[in-house]
Amino acid sequence: MIRLSVSRATCRRGACCCIGASREERTTRGAGACRELELALRARCSIRIARCRPLSGKRAWLDTNGRARVVLHLDGEEASDFLNFVLKDDATNTWYDNNGTNFKVELRADASPSAPKLDQLPKDLCDKWAWVRWDFVGRPQRSAEAAASEYDRGVSEMKELLARGRVLDELWRVAEGKWKYSDYRKKVVTPTIGDGTAPLSAQPQAQQPAGAPAAAALPAIPEDLLGVQAYILVINDQLAAGSSLEEVAGRLNYTLKQPTPPASTRGTPAGSRAGSATSSLDGGAAAAPARPSGPPPQVGAPLGTPKRNPLDMIKRTAPNLSAERSVVERPLDFLVQRFAVDPATKWRRTFPLGGKAEMLVVVRQEAENKPIRVDLVTDTASDVVLHWGVSPIGSREWVMPDDGVLPEGSMVMHKAVETPFLNCDDDECDVEISGAKVPLQRITINLPADHHLGALLFVLRSSDNTMWYKDAGGNFTVPLPSKDKPVEDTRSMDVIKDELSRTIIEAEVNSSMWTLMHRFNKAADLVSEVLNGYYDQLDVADAMSRIYVWLRYSATRHLTWQRNYNTQPRILSAAQERLTNTIANAHGRTTGEAQEWVRMMLTTVGRGGDGQKIRDEILHIMHRNHIPERKGLWMEEWHQKLHNNTTPDDVPICEAYLAFLEGNGNIGAYWRVLSDAGITRQRLEGFDRAITLEPEYYPEKRDALIRDFRNYLGILKAVHSGADLSASASAAGNRIPGSCRGYLGYVLSHVGDSQILPLLEACVEARTELALSGTLPGSRELLYLDLALEDQARQAAERGVGAAGFGAAAFMRPLLQNLCLSLGNNEELCYCLKAWNELPQSVRTGGRPNKEEALLAVAVVNRVRRALADISDRTVNRIGDVSSAYGRAFGVEHWAYELFAEEVIRGGPAFAVSLVITAIEPMLRNAAALGAWQVISPIAATGRVEVVAGLHEVQDKTYDTPTVLIAEQVTGEEEIPEGCVAVITPDAPDVLSHVSVRARNMRVLFATCHDDGPLKQLREAKGKWLHFTPSASGAVSWNETTAEAAGAADDSSHSTVSKPTKGLKIEVPNWCGRWVVGMDEYKDGVVGAKSKNLAGLRGRLPDNINLPASVTLPFGCFEQALELKENQDIKTKLKKHVDEVHKHSKHHADHTTSNGTGPSPAALLAECRKLAMQVVVPKQIRDDLAQAMKGAGIPPPETEERWALALEALRGVWASKYNDRAYYSLRKAGLDFDSVRMAVLVQRVVPAQYAFVIHTRNPSNNDEREVFCELVKGLGESLVSGMVPGSAVAFKAAKDEAGLGSPEVLCYASKSEAMYVRDSLIFRSDSNGEDLEGYAGAGLYESITMDPSLLKKVDYMEDRLVQDPAYRRDLLSRICRLGASIEGALGTAQDIEGVVAPDGAITVVQTRPQV
C-alpha cells in the first residue's frame, strides 16, 4: 500500500487531485482529464480508488489528526514506474504543480530515478544545453579549457536535475528554447539543486584583497560518484568543510578507482578542464604550462548526424546583377554610357558621394596634339566646391596649377584652388528620372596638350563648409594623358591593366597618408562599384578576386597598416564595419565563384564594432589594477599604441601577454606567441607608437590581470578577428537557427579536443544548418560564424589526419561536406560526396576493406583528387598572375607573391581533404592490389627528362634527342611528339584512349604514377638522362645514365622513334562516281576499314548481337564537292594554305628552319578547317543520302533545320582531315596529310546505357590469351576521345570458358560525366589513313553526332553495375564473349566499339584490326 498525503495547508477547500501513472514518461494532464486518468490507471495498475472528487469538509477524507489523505491500494506487481499528479483548487480554478511539471512518486523499488550516465545522455541535448548556458551568461569569451569545463558543468547540472526527479522531456524543452533557461533556472534549477552548477561568466571579478587566503580548489569528483542521487548536493559541502575525497566516498559506501585521469566520452584532455563542477573558470594558483599537453589526437566516435542527400546542397543559381541594377535608375547613367562609347574618352570614373549622390569624372582628348578636357559632373542636391591641385608626373605631391587652366570663378587658396560647381544647362545634362528632370552640376578644366602633369588631385566640400567628400579618406586622383609621361613600369603586367587594378595600385602606392582605415573605406567603395557595373571589362568573379588579393596582402602584413596618419580605434572600427557590411551585402547579391571570393574577403578583415571600448577598457584595466600611466612601462607603451592606432596586431600582443601572465612572468612564452603570429621585436619597435619594452610581472595582480585581459582579448577580437569562433557566435546571437545551436554548443565546448571526428562533424553540421536555414547569404554575423566553423574544421583535420592512419577515412565525409559548403560552384564536389557516402562502411569508417571494396574506394578517391586539382587550377588561374603583379607593384617580397596562390589553396578547406587522400590512398591501393604505377605501354626507354604542364602543349614539337616527358596533364586525345620515348604522368587516361593506343603502336613508354614521391623525384631530375624499365609486376624503375650510354642503348630500341616509319604509304583512291553507297558496296578503294569490317561481320555474330544499319559517303566526295563552281574560291584558298603547310613539312624533313615569320602549321590548319566548314554540299548528296538511308532502314532528318544539322556534321568530319594531331602524326610517319581521303560512315545513334571498347589482345602485356575491355556510361566518345577525364570501368578475362564467365574488374570508373545525345545520326570518319598496317591512325579524325552531345554529371557508385554483382558479372561476361567471337570471326585481334542499350541488347558499332 502506498499512501499519498497532502498537508492541510496546501489542500484548500474544494481542492481536487488529478492522478495518473507513467512508465518513464510524464502523464498528460489538464482540467477535465481526471476521469480519463483514473480509468487509465485502473486498467494498467489495478488500483482501487474512489472517484476523483474534491478533498473537502469533515468527511472520510480526513484522518484523526485533521489532515486530508488519499489512500491508493495497488494489488499485485506494479507495472508502472511512477505516480504523477497535480492539484486543482476548484474555487479559484487554480492548478498547483511541481515547479512546472507533475508531482512524481516512485512506485517500484527497481525504478531507479538516478540520472543517466554522461554517455547515456543524448549528445545533442548536452550540446544544446551548453549553448543555452553560454547564452544565459552573455556569451563570454572563454579559453578552450574553460569552455570544456563549462560543458562538463552543464552535463552535471542535467544529471543532478534528473536525479531529483526532473524528466528528460523537460530538459529538451529548455535546450530547444521552448522554456527560457533564465526562467527555468530561477523556477527549477536553483530551488532544486542550488547554484552550485551556475554557468560561470568570464567578466572581470572583484580582485581578492591582498593577503586574503585563496579558496582551496576542491578535488575532481568522479562521474559515477556524482550519480549517487541521495548525496549529490552534499558532496561539495563535505569537501569544502575539509573532508577528504576518500572520507566522503567511504560515507557513501563508494570505492575510489586508481588515480588515473577520468575518461570523458568527449575525449577532452583532463588537464584542460576544471577539476570539478564548481571549479573556478580562471582560478588556481598553479601556473599553466607554456604548451599544455593532452592525449594525442584520436579519430573518436561519430557524433551521429542526420542523413542528407548531397545533391540537395548543389548551388545552382546564377548571379543576376544586371536585373538588380536595372531596378535603380541613376541620373548619371546616361552620361556614363555616352562617354563609354566616345572614342575621345581616355579615362572615366564614377565616385559615390554618399546619400545616393555620385560624381562622374571624364578625361577626353581627341588626338595627341589636341587639348585635354576634364569634366566633373555630379547629381548632388547640395552646392559643392572643388578643392583641387595637380601633381607632377611620377609623384603625388600636391602643387598649384598654372593660372591659365583655372576655370571661371576659381579662387586661389594656400597650395590649392577652389572652384564652385555650376549648374549644367547643356543638352548633355538634360536628364530625367521617372519623368522629373534632375539638376546636374559641372566643372570643366581644359589643359594644353603639352601640360607636363601627372594627375589632377582634389576633394569636395559643401559650400557651407559643413561636409567634406573624400575618396576613402584621401584625395580623389584623376590620371592625365601626357606626351612625356614615363614609360609604364614593366611590373605592371597586362593582367592588371584593367581600371580596377590601376585604382587599387594607385591608392596603395601613391597615397602619402594611408592606414587600414583608408584601405577599408576604399575597398568598400570598390566592392560597391563592382556590383553596380563600373568595371565592366572584368566579370564579377575576376573583380572580386582582385579585391580579395589586395585585402589578403593587407591582412598578412605585407602592406603598411599606418603611414603618416593616426586612426583612433572608433574610426578604424567604423571603417571595418562599413567594409564588412558592404561585403556581406555583396555576398547576398552574388552567386557562384564570385560569391566564393566575396566570402573569402571576410577572412581578411575584422567585423569592426565598438572600437571605443579598446581605448576605454585598457585604461580601466590599468586603473583597476593600479598600474600607473607613465613612461618606462610596457603596458603604457601598448596603451599609447592602442589609443592612437589599434591594428589586428593587438590581438596576438594580448594573447602573448596572457601567456606571459599564465606562465608566472615567463618572458619566453610572451615572445613565442608573438613569433607564432609573425610579430618580431623590430615590428613592435616600428609602430608609430613603438613598443620597445618587455612586460612587467605583478605577482599579486596576476589572477586579476588574467581575468581582465581575457575579457579584453574578447573586445579586441570582436573588432579585429572576424572569424574568431567565440566572438562570432556571440555576435550572431539570436540569428543562429535553433537547429544549429546544439552543434555549435558542442564545438564551443570542444575546441582543440583530441577526439577529432565528433568535432569535425559538429562543425560541419552547424555549417550545414546555417546554409539550409536560408539566412546565410548577406548576413555578416552568420558569415563570420560560418568562416569560424570552417576554420575549426580545418584545424581539427590537420591535427587528426597524421595520427589517424587509415582511420582518417572517417574524416572524408565531413570534410567533403565542409568543402561543398564553401565552394561557389560545388556540383562536382557534391557528387563526390554522394559517391563516397555510397561506399561500403568498411571504407567510410576506416576499417579493413576487401579488394572489391578497395577498388570502389580508389575510383571515388581518384574522382575527388581530380576535383581538388580543378579547384587548385581554378584558383591559380584566377589569382596567380594577379597576385604576382600586385605583389611586385606593392613592393612585396618575392617569396610572398610567388607563394601567394599556393598559400590561399593550402589555407582553404580543399587542403584538408587532400591530407586525407594522402593518408588513405596508399592503403587503399594496396588492399585493391594496385601498385603506385599503371603501365599503359610497357616499353623500356632511355632519354633526357623534360617537365611539361600538359602533353597537348608540346604535341607539335620535335625533340632532337630522346626525351622523357613528365606531363602533368594527359587527356587522351593528344599526339605524342616526335623524339619522345616516354611519357610519365599523374593523370589517368583510359588504357584504350587514342593516345594510349598510339603510344603502344609507337613503342613509347606510357605510364601513370599515383605516388607523389616518385613523381617528385622525376620532376627534380629535369635535364638528366634516365633509363626506365617496366617490370612484370606493373612497376617502373629507373636509374641515372649518361647521354653517351643512352645513345648506345637507344640504337637497338628507339632509333625509329624520331625517323619516318619505313615502308608506309597512303594510297590515294579515286572517287567511285557515287555520292553514297550501301553495305553491299563496301569494297577496297571505295570506303575505309570501319565500313568494310562492319559489312564483313554480317551473318557471323551470335543472334543476340546487333549490327547497326549503315550507309557511307565514299572516298573522294569532299574533293569532288570542291570541284563545284560555288566552291572554287574555297578550293583555291585551301590549296594555298596546304602548300604553305607542305613547306613547313619539307623544312622539318630537311631539319632546316623556315624563313620569315609566317603562320605556323597549326594556324594554317585552323584556316583550312574553317574553309572546309564553308563548303557547299551538293544537293545530290542530300538526295542520295536520304534515299540510301531509307533503304537501309535509317530514318532521314525530318525537317530542313535537321538536314542543316546533318550536313554541318558531315562537313565537320571532312574538315577533320586538317586536324593538328593528324598532321603531326602523319608527318612523324613520313606521310602526306593531303593524301588522306575521307569516307564518312553514317549510322543511327544507338540509345546507349553503356558504351565499351574491346581489345581482344590485352594491350597492357600483349597477352593474346586475354581480352581487355573498358566501359563507361553513355556514349563511347567519353572513353576514347579524352573529352571526359577519369578512368573507365576496366576488366579483363582469359579466353577460355571459365575466364570468359568470370571477368576480373581491374578498376572502377572515376569519370564525373557521361555524354548523351537525343535520337540522332552519327557521321564517323572512315579515311584511308586510319588503318595502315603498323600505323595507329585511330582517333586522328572526328566522329560527329548530328545533334550536340550533352555532358551530364553521373554517379557510378549508385549504378546497378556497381550495386548488383550478379548483373555486373553477366554484363561484363557478355562483352568479353563478344570480343572473343568477333576475333574468331575475323581471324585477327580486333579493336571493337559497341554499346549496351537500356534493355541490355548489345550492338557493335565498329571494329578494326588491333594495332
Active site residues: 994
Helix and strand numbers (H, E) in the chain are 47, 44
Q: Identify the H or E element spanning 1408.
A: strand 1402-1409
The conformation of residue 696, written as its DSSP 8-state character, comes to P
For 396, which DSSP code? -
**Cβ proximity of 578 and 608 under 8 Å:** yes
Rounded CA-CA distance 920/936 in Å is 24
What 3-state class would DSSP assign to 269? coil
Distance CA 547, CA 535 (A): 12
User: What is the spatial distance between Cα 131 and Cα 125, in angstroms, rounded to a whole number?
Assistant: 10
In angstroms, the CA 363 to CA 484 distance is 17
Reported as type and span, the H/E element at residue 562 is: strand 562-563
Joined together, the cell numbers standing for residue 460 give 569636395
In contact, 1336 and 998? CB cutoff 8 Å: yes
The residue length of the chain stands at 1411
280-316 CB burial, b ≥16 within 10 A, e <16: bbbbeeeebeeeeebeebbbbeebebeeeebeebbbe
Using DSSP's 3-state secondary structure scheme, residue 317 falls into coil
In Å, the largest CA–CA distance within the chain is 130
The grid coordinates of residue 1130 equal: 574555297
3-state secondary structure of 834: helix
**C-alpha cell recorded at residue 1245:** 545513334
Q: Which residues sit opposite 385 in a β-bridge? A: 420, 461
> 1297: part of which helix (H) or strand (E)?
helix 1297-1301
Sign of CA dihedral 1124, 1125, 1127, 1133: positive
d(CA 237, CA 203): 26
Closest-CA residue to 992 (of 1046, 937, 920, 1035): 937
Compute the distance between CA of residue 949 and CA of residue 389 in angstroms, rounded to an integer. 51
Q: Quick check: helix, strand or coil at residue 238?
A: helix
Q: DSSP letter at 966?
A: E
Alpha-carbon span 603 to 903, nearest angstrom: 14
**Residue 959 dihedral angles phi and psi, to the nearest 5°:** -95, 125
Which one-letter DSSP state was computed for residue 1107? -
Q: Report residue 150: phi and psi, to 5°.
A: -65, -35
Count other C-beta atoms under 10 Å from residue 629's C-beta.
12
Cα-trace Rg, the chain: 40
Cross-strand bridge partners of residue 19: 85
Residue in 384, 360, 387, 385 with CA at minimum distance from that of residue 374: 360
From the CB of residue 127, how many other CB atoms can be counted at a distance below 10 Å? 26
Residues 6+ apart with CB under 8 A from 1369: 1302, 1303
Q: How far apart are CA 538 and CA 602, in angstroms?
A: 21
Distances (CA, A) of 810 to 295, 438, 822: 20, 64, 20
Rounded-to-10 torsion of CA 53, 54, 58, 61:
50
